[in-house]
Structure 1
Amino acid sequence: MLFQENILLYLKRGLIMNYFEDESEEVKYEKEYHYLESKIKILSQSFLWNGSEVSERLQDWQSNFNGQVKDSKIELHNAMFLLSQFMFFNDKTIRNFLQSIYKDLIVKPIIDSIRRNNENTIDLTFIQENLNTKLSLIKFIPIGKISGSGAMISYLFRQATDISEEQVILASDLYNSSGNLNFPEIEHYILIDDLAGSGTQVCDFVTKHKILNLKIENKHIQISYLPIFSTSIAIEKIKKSTFHQIYVNPLFELDESYQVYSQKSRYFSNVKKHKYIGRLMSKYIFKKYAKNLNFIEENSLGYSNTQLMLAFSHNTPDNTLPLFWEDSKWNAIFKRYNKK
């Protein structure tokens, strides 16, 4: 739990510093910019950003901000300010997250139920036998294309847990050619994912693969969606779109403060009036460049205006600000592979 608490602390702090002192603007700029570069260098060499390859791509990414929107110094300062707070999660961290999902959100509730239904028994042999039985009646379904993020999440999930390869299935394998369930004995289907940003992909996935029909086949079947991260907006959308037939419980919920340019943004919470850095200034720069790269209004700050700043070692979600991952006529600093 200490590892998870440290990560939560990292998320909540947002690694934001208050730079502002009574100095000339030029001196302040040089000090702040040097601090940002040093911070990014430290992060890129640390455990947190291990595998991000930021140091190899940084110079090319910086060259994107060449004064097309504002003075290049202002553009670059705002870009580096955001990058210094970017959340990157490598394979080891993701495995720890998935292990927490398995232990805390799946195994522990089953053990609690077994004990509760058996006079709070402390018979470890009895508990383990019943736990094994319950776990054998669960199938895990990765969200996304199996040749993309879905495959990587499945792989990391199996590495992080003791489940068998047979327990992870594709949604396309739920029904046979006659339309009947392939696994009639299964009591619980769990959808696993890295991130629910807008909730659209999950809802489309559920519809495409007729996930809710499982409830029609057997009203006692449980369906859960347990992503590593989900925005508050996505949680509500998924619940509403699935008529509350799917239990949604992310390991981490990203509230409005994780939207980079929301009025409650944690990233600008300590920023006072400043010549180079500002929430509205940064928003204008990032939005204008994204539109120059042919992003439509709705997606110029991340798909469906989600405005996130996070990436995984296996992919960068399109909910993240595009200027971090776009690679067409732009030098990306984090790689994105299309999940569609």
Structure 2
Amino acid sequence: MKDKKVEEVVSRCIEKWGNDSRTDDLQKVIDGWLENIRENDRDIYLRLLYNFRYYSKKSENKYAQFVIRKVKEIDNSINESIFVPLLKTEEGISGAYKLIRCIQLIGGLNSVVCPTNLAKFEKDFGLDAIKNVIIVDDISGTGKTLSDNLKYMKELYPNFFINKNIYITCLVTTENANKQIRKQIENGKTRYWTYHIMKKSFEANNIFRKERCGNVKKRVEEYELLLSKKDKSDIFGFKQSELLVAFSDNTPNNTLLSFWKKTNNWEPIFPRAKTASRPSWARNAKGNQKKNVTSNLIELINSK
């Protein structure tokens, strides 16, 4: 006999999230997931699941509409603005690139206003006509990574920040990250556009009543510890973010391990994409080589 409560939660989730490749066979996936959770803990996990935020392509399109609306408030024709991804200090394509593409398509924008190669953009067009730079990212869990990456961008591409209005925006921001980011905004020419602000899962009176939070967190911690790394630093998500969020293409490590960590004995609902280890040539690269490349780029840009 099927569990009616599980069926009801699954039905509500599908209603909120919609159907796509990550939610296909959701009932079957959740049934398998719950098999590894003790009977008396299942209500806790069903409650967490009900409060989980999954951002499908449709949800990401709504975010793109939000960004376009905000930009039109300052530049109605979008003739003096560009949209750029928040660049990482480590080479690679992040979720920001996907959102930039989404903004371009939803806004019907020419690809030239959504550059991902900033050095080439500056060389080809210059920056005199640009007044607004909109920096986009998918998630800020603590605020630190965003701040570090923003500092990296300023060092590498300073002319994109000099005498420009800077607007930073994320699809998801935690309450703590929102506070940290706003503290670090230096002047009136920098703004942070919040879309969805999320609280920690075990914050008092968020998902569970204040008097229950301690006990609930302790029970969930047992499962997190089973799935964690040896040093236990990743339990409850990166820096204990305690988030319940996944995107259409991946799941951030800020989310509770119970929802994304895959092991031989644990099948998660939203598995995080596997990442291969670095090739030998990358592992053996000297740190000063990377620094020299950065310095050379800055020198090249400033010489233009």
Category of TM-score, reference length = shorter chain: 0.7 to 0.9
Structure 1 residue 50 corresponds to structure 2 residue 12 = no
The 5 Å alignment of 1:211-230 reads 214=158, 219-230=162-173
* TM-score where L is the length of structure 1: 0.68
Q: Is the 8 A contact 2:140 2:174 kept in 1?
A: yes
In structure 2, what is the Cα distance between the partners aligned to 1:50 and 1:143?
29
Q: Secondary structure at the match of 2:142?
A: coil
Q: Map 1:1-340; keep pairs closer than 5 Å.
A: 34-46=3-15, 48-51=17-20, 52-53=22-23, 54-65=26-37, 72-103=38-69, 105-110=70-75, 131-132=76-77, 135-143=78-86, 147-170=93-116, 173-175=117-119, 183-185=126-128, 186-210=130-154, 214=158, 219-241=162-184, 243-244=186-187, 246-254=190-198, 258-263=199-204, 265-269=205-209, 278-295=212-229, 296-329=231-264, 330-337=266-273
How far apart, in 1, do the equivalents of 2:224 and 2:186 lie?
A: 35
Contact 2:237–2:254 (CA<8 Å) still a contact in 1?
A: yes
- CA 1:268–1:35 in structure 2 vs 1: closer, same or farther (change >3 Å)? farther
Q: How far off is 1:205 after superposition?
A: 1.6
In 2: Cα distance, 1:313 partner to 1:241 partner: 30
Question: How far apart, in 1, do the equivalents of 2:94 and 2:36 lie?
Answer: 28
Instruction: Return the TM-score normalized by structure 2.
Output: 0.75
Q: CA deviation at 1:281?
A: 3.0
Kept in 1: contact 2:86–2:150 (CA 8 A):
no
- Using a 3 Å threshold, how does the CA distance of structure 1 residues 219 and 204 change in structure 2: closer, same or farther? closer
Q: In structure 2, do the counterparts of structure 1 residues 326 and 158 end up closer, same or farther at CA, with 3 Å as the change threshold?
A: same
Q: Which amino acid aligns with 2:140?
A: A
Deviations 1:213-252 (A, max 9, x none): 636x764211110222212221232234453563112123
CA–CA distance in structure 2, aligned partners of residues 159 and 304 of structure 1: 34
**TM-superposition CA deviations, 1:184-219 (whole Å, max 9, x none):** 22222111122221112212221222269636x764
CA drift at 1:308: 1.4
**Aligned partners of 1:212, 1:238: CA distance in 2, in Å?**
20
Please tell me whether Structure 1 or Structure 2 has the larger radius of gyration of its CA atoms. Answer: 1
- Residues 1:34 and 1:56: Cα distance change in structure 2 (over 3 Å): closer
Query: What SS does structure 2 have at the residue aligned with 1:239?
Result: helix
CA contact (8 A) 1:89 1:313 kept: yes
Specify every segment of 5 or more residues in structure 2 that has no aligned partner in the other structure, as ranges: 277-304
Counterpart AA for 2:216: S
For 1:73 and 1:174, locate their aligned partners in 2 and report how far apart those are by CA, in whole Å. Answer: 53
**Retained in 2: the 8 A contact 1:39–1:84?**
no
| AA of the residue aligned to 1:94 | E
Q: Is the 8 A contact 2:173 2:196 kept in 1?
A: yes
Q: How far is the alpha carbon of 1:183 from its aligned partner?
A: 3.1
Residues 102-131 of structure 1, C-alpha deviations (whole Å, 9 max, x = no match): 11x110233xxxxxxxxxxxxxxxxxxxx4
Specify the SS of the correspondent of 1:261.
Answer: coil
Q: What's the secondary structure of 2:66's corresponding residue?
A: helix
- Give the superposed CA RMSD: 3.2
Q: Distance in 2 between matches of 1:339 and 1:98?
A: 27
- Structure 1's consecutive aligned runs of 4 or more residues displaced over 6 angstroms after TM superposition are 179-182
Does the 8 A contact of 1:194 with 1:229 survive in 2?
A: yes
**Cα separation, 2, equivalents of 1:144 and 1:218:** 14
* SS at 2:173 equivalent: strand
What CA distance in whole angstroms lies between the structure 1 residues aligned with 2:161 and 2:145?
Answer: 25
Q: Distance in 1 between matches of 2:27 and 2:149?
A: 36
Compute the displacement of 1:37 (Å). 0.6
Distance in 1 between residues matched to 2:6 and 2:245, nearest whole Å: 19
